[in-house]
Amino acid sequence: MKKRIGILGGMSPESTAEFYLGIVSKYFSKYKDNSYPEILIFCVDFQKMIALQEGGDKKSYIQALMIGINSLITAGADFITIPSNAPHVVYHELAALSSKPILSIVENTAQKAKSMDFKRLLLTGTLYTMQSDYYKLEFEKYGIHMVVPGERDQQEINRIIFAELVHGKIKEASANWFKKMIETYEVDGVVLGCTELPMLIKQTDTTLTLLNTLDIHAEKTLEYSLGLNNL
């Protein structure tokens, strides 16, 4: 029996929609029917989440996320999946408070990177993600060193995400800059540690291997729903 998926979304709406469609399309491509898992979506107040992140109010941030998680559980979700990287800075706290399992986009990506035998990766994402250590600590468990861009590059990536991508804007100048920027770092590959970044760059745009966290997480979410993997 398929597990009902609970998506804690809205961070941002663009990636939430892409994640939902990704799960459905992955199911159809594998099984060629429309019996994909039941899916519930709770979209948080994105601006409130950003303010709590920037303000460093960890307790209130956790409480706000738990409102969404508990709403999904009350509605009948069998497990929770979050198609956004930043909330995973408090993943362990959320997992401890939740009465249902929560999948980790960071762990799923780390496992994928390990399977591809990566040793040194560039982490791109929001300032909140690039300046936190939750990705570094998780990847270290798999023997992978995580590099972050320099300060100026971090600021520009963050600007592109919040001024353009979360609003569905894809600018050629930004895409060209991002492609050139990642190729200045000596790494095995690049973690697209913001679920909007796959809108900006595709694997065909660069010789560096891209780890699309949104796509990896959608695949693992579907597999878990179908009972094909465990936490």
pLDDT tens, residue by residue, 153-187: 999 999 999 999 999 999 999 999 999 999 999 99
Q: Calculate mean pLDDT across residues 141-146.
A: 97
**Is the pLDDT at 202 greater than 90, yes or no?**
yes
Find the angle CA(98)-CA(16)-CA(132) to the nearest 5 degrees: 65
CATH code at 106-213: 3.40.50.1860
Domain ranges across the chain: 5-103+215-225, 106-213
CATH code at 5-103+215-225: 3.40.50.1860
Residue 230: pLDDT band with limits 50, 70, 90 = confident
**Is the pLDDT at 10 greater than 90, yes or no?**
yes
Query: Which three-class secondary structure state does DSSP give residue 7?
Result: strand
Q: Contact, 94 vs 62, CB < 8 A?
A: yes
| pLDDT at res. 93 | 98
Average pLDDT of the chain?
96
Supply the pTM of this predicted model.
0.95
pLDDT in tens, 87-110: 999 999 999 999 999 999 999 999
pLDDT in tens, 108-132: 999 999 999 999 999 999 999 999 9
5-103+215-225 and 106-213, same CATH topology? yes
